[in-house]
Amino acid sequence: MLRYLSPLLFLAVLIIVFAKGLGPERNLNELPSPFLDKQAPKFDLPGLINPDEQISSSVYAGEVAIVNFWATWCGGCRQEHGFLMELSRKNEIPIYGIDWRDRRVEALNWLSQLGDPYRVSGFDADATTGIDWGVYGAPETFLIGKDGRLLHKHLGPLDRNTWETDFAPLIAAENGAQQ
Amino acid sequence: MIPEVGHFALILALSLAICQGVLPLLGAYRNDVAMMAVARPAAVGQFVFVAISFICLAWSFLDSDFSVLYVANHSQLALPAIYKISAVWGAHEGSMLLWILLLAAWTVAVSRYSSALPDTFSSRVIGVLGLLSCGFLLFTLLTSNPFERLIPAPPDGADLNPLLQDPGLAIHPPILYAGYVGFAVAFAFAIAAMLSGNLDRAWARWTRPWTTWAWLFLTVGIALGSWWAYYELGWGGWWFWDPVENASFMPWLAGTALIHSLAVTEKRGLFKSWTLLLAISAFSLSLLGTFLVRSGILISVHSFATDPERGMFILGFLGLTIGGALALFAWRAPSLDSSAGFRALSRETFLLLNNVLLVIATTLILIGTLAPLVVEVIDGGKISVGPPWFEIALAIPLLPLVLLIGVGMHTAWRSQAFKPLVAQLKLPAIVAIAAGIIVPTFVYGRFGLLLVIGTTAGFWILLVSLIQPMRSWRRKPGTPAITRGALGMSVAHFGVGMFAIGVSIVSAFNVEADVSLRPGEQVSVGGYEFELRGLRNVDGPNYQAVEGEIEIRKNGEFVAKLRPQKRTYIIQKNPMTEAGILVSWNRDLFVALGDPLGNDAWSVRLQYKPMIRFIWLGAFVMAFGGIIAASDRRYRLYANAKRPLIKTSEAPA
């Protein structure tokens, strides 16, 4: 009998998971990060380009910056890469990269072929930093304030539209408030 | 006025769907002929009103009636007419309407071609389909009304997402949905069988062509989606393991398993409860896909606008439909199973293996797709599952499956002697191994274990798929020709072989280079020289573009000129890549413009993709095999019969 009931039991479990997943406490459009307006998590990673160098979250101390989690296998990262290049060319904001769950050779290849928009990139092969930051899937971009607070988190590829509506006002406010 | 007519027609369609869902089922239960007679007219009526509603929405698009919110959000004046039509299903609300229209169309097809079925049976099938229609119509009317007004109307619309302004994507959703919805027919047949408590070989024979048609639509739909992603997303991949892609792949795998398990149920009357479970699963996975795409529960590049209310509604509907079906299964399936023996070496064994491997593959994809969600719900942690996991997880069940196909299709039902099987397959096996080693090593210049297994498996199926058609072609006069069913199987498996070769070769020998080029500069990729001749500005109807002119030469000889574009759509502002692709049967040359790098230089993505066409071609050949098999004579006999050919206990004597 259990043999014939097991699909039903499996469905019941699945539905409970889905119902919890849809619950109000989990809205993916907004920031699910518990760090919003709090100090962003620290990291300390080997450099992507130079493995001997240690790159830590102190690199952006005192400035408004974005931290971008990316990987070469990720389509959205390729999609947003042009925009990141544009940001870095226009010097709009310092961009720090964290190459996440990736292979170093491929990542270096990517940067040399597509261009490197990052001031510096950390290499997070086993995703420990990604877990600290609550990274769900690449690309994800975090906006960090001057005092190291997390101001905003964006899931998925960045583009000019999102930048102007979600990031620019926060950056302007952050710069204005501290002057 | 037109939108209100459309809205009203949709409400009338719901009323008819309720009649279609309730009365025939009740009539079948009480053996009331008058109530059962409601089934067919109600189904036709429902279709007519859904069609009216659909035409009204299309009309609003063609008329650029921006007082309709949905039109204002997904169209604009300068949008070409063909994309105004395809914009109807370009977003959530309209695509639900398309889904409902296709479900109604399948229902009408079932009621037209089911005259040979006992009345109680066809009433139950049409009734179940009616209940499904009710669910989708209610969902659309309550949470996703496409006819909602926007007053005052804006002077121009927000334009259709530029990604969707493409002929491939205009036809991809209707065909894909026809596949998803088509599994509803197999589902309804399964429910009807369980309600009547009568599942015989005739049942499998009725269900088979419908399932095959649904499966082949899904096959073509997925292939079109993959083809579109390849040339439109601009980075030349053909499958991304995105949750939405997985959502279409899971019902495909379950449907493939169902087709094969139905074969056993028809020929031998075995695997009955298993077949029922697969029929429920194939449609359930289609529903699950809808839920994942439209509830926003998983993050994906092509998820629809998210809305928790919609998510809860679909989840409730999912629970009722699948839960009801599985409860019925738990209650009725034990009494339906029959046990008849078969030997270890027989067609049945291979089809059992086929089912086990396909179900393992489906489960692995389900796990990979849902794992991030499950982990997050259980302990709040976050994980993500990347393409490498899916690739390895799928190779494990699917490579043996591909190798086993060749043996299974030449094995007899019940019991097969070992020696004649070996004698028949020895030559193709040797040739396949030789070709599998020679082609990668000498034509493409590299040897790899997985690569050789992949290409060998591909050649192996290509060769063994030819055995039966060749034998029929060279048969003595007077001996029977191959049946359409067997021919369809051979053709579909030939497609599997093409697909396997395509995937193996392209993933091993694909060359990609992202380079920076100034006009006049050239670079060599995959044995071809690519020269950027120049750039110019081009204006489209609703976009502006930079067009590069790239000349391709091989050993100094002119091959082709490609004109890739980088488009900026005027209203939505997002940049789009129109790749330039030179197609040939054995390789694609792919050129996409990246971004300006300053000093006249542009980043350009160049790719050499050997055998990539075999991936989609293989899928189309599989689908074509499905058409051949579904047109087998023995199904037509049933479809066209005026009177029931099979007398069941319920039919009047």
What is the mean predicted confidence (pLDDT) over B504-528? 89
- Give mean pLDDT, residues B373-381: 71
B34-42 mean pLDDT: 94
Between chains, do B323 and A113 touch, taking CB under 8 Å as contact?
no
Find chain A residues with C-beta within 8 A of B280's C-beta: 7
d(CA A79, CA A158) in angstroms, rounded, equals 8
Q: Which of A8, A82, A136 sits opposite B382 (nearest CB)?
A: A136
State pLDDT tens for residues B385-398.
Answer: 777 788 888 889 99
**Which band of pLDDT confidence, cut at 50, 70 and 90, is reported for residue B639?**
low
- Three-state SS across B458-487? HHHHHHHHHHHHHHHHCCCCCCCCCCHHHH
Find the residue in A nearest to B294 (Cα): A22
CA atoms within 13 A on the CB side of B430: 5
Cβ–Cβ < 8 Å for B161, B90: yes
Pick the residue of B306, B339, B362, B377 with the most A CBs within 10 A to test the interface with A by mutation.
Answer: B377
What pLDDT is stored for residue B640 in this prediction?
57
Contact between B549 and B561 (Cβ < 8 Å):
yes
Query: Any residues with CB less than 8 A from the CB of B499 and at least 6 apart, and which?
Result: B458, B614, B615, B618, B619, B622
| B105, B184 Cβ separation under 8 angstroms | no
SS3 category, B546:
strand
Min Cα separation B50/chain A (Å): 30
pLDDT tens per residue, range B228-282: 888 877 567 888 887 888 889 999 999 999 999 999 999 888 889 999 999 999 9
Domains of chain A: 39-177 (3.40.30.10)
Q: What are the Cα distances from residue B39, in Å, to A111, B116, B189, B398? A: 63, 15, 15, 42
Residue B629 clears pLDDT 90, i.e. is over it: yes
Q: Please report the pLDDT score of residue B383 as a whole number.
A: 65
CB A117 within 8 A of CB B519: no
Residue type, position B11, single letter: I
Q: Which of A15, A75, A89 sits opposite B237 (nearest CB)?
A: A75
Cross-chain CB nearest to A28 (options B299, B370, B386)? B299
pLDDT tens-place string over residues B593-616 = 877 777 788 888 888 999 999 999
**Least confident residue range of B9-13, B197-201, B234-238, B321-325:** B234-238
ipTM over 0.85: no
The whole-angstrom separation of Cα B303 and Cα B245 is 11
Within chain B, what is the greatest distance between any pair of CA atoms?
Answer: 88
Top-confidence residue, A30 or B137: B137
Residue of B370, B525, B595 best to disrupt the A interface, most CBs of A under 10 A? B595
Under the banding of pLDDT at 50, 70 and 90, the label for residue B13 is very high
Of the candidates B237, B299, B315, which has its C-beta nearest A15's C-beta? B315
Size of interface A-B (CB pairs under 8 A): 115
Report pLDDT for B303: 45
Banded pLDDT at B380 (limits 50, 70, 90): low
The pLDDT value recorded for residue B593 is 86
Q: What is the pLDDT of residue B35?
A: 93
Q: Do A1 and B334 touch (CB under 8 A)?
A: yes
The pLDDT > 90 percentage for chain B reads 56
Mean pLDDT calculated for residue range B401-406: 92
CA distance A112 to chain B (A): 9
Res. B465: pLDDT tops 60? yes
Pairing, β B543-554 against β B528-539:
antiparallel
Q: Write the single-letter amino acid at A112.
A: S
Amino acid at position B568, single letter: T
Interface probe, candidates A8, A77, A87, A128, chain B, greatest B C-beta count within 10 A: A8
Of the partner residues A7, A11, A134, the one whose CB lies closest to the CB of residue B382: A134
Q: What is the reported pLDDT for B123?
A: 95
Read off the pLDDT of each residue in B198-214 and give the average, rounded to a whole number.
Answer: 92
Indicate if the pLDDT at residue B649 is higher than 60: no
Nearest to A110 by CA among A84, A145, A144, A148: A84
- Whether B299 sits inside 8 A of A114 (CB atoms) is no
Give CA angle at B57 (B52, B61), nearest 5°.
Answer: 140
- Between CA A68 and CA B454 the distance in angstroms is 37
More confident residue, A79 or B191: B191
What chain A residue is nearest to B575 in terms of C-alpha separation?
A159
Walk along chain A (179 residues) in steps of 10 and give the mean pLDDT of each run: 86 87 56 70 88 87 90 77 88 90 82 87 84 77 89 83 87 74
pLDDT at B567: 87
Residue type, position A27, single letter? N
The DSSP symbol for A57 reads G
pTM: 0.82
- CB < 8 Å to A77, chain B: none
Distance to chain A for B367, nearest Cα, Å: 11
Long-range contacts of A173-179 (CB under 8 A, 24+ apart): A174/A64, A174/A145, A174/A146, A175/A64, A178/A146
Give yes or no for residue B642 having a pLDDT over 60: no
Best of B511, B514, B517, B574 to substitute, by most chain A Cβ atoms within 10 angstroms, is B514
Question: Which residues of chain A are within 8 Å of residue B377 when distances are taken between CB atoms?
Answer: 17, 20-21
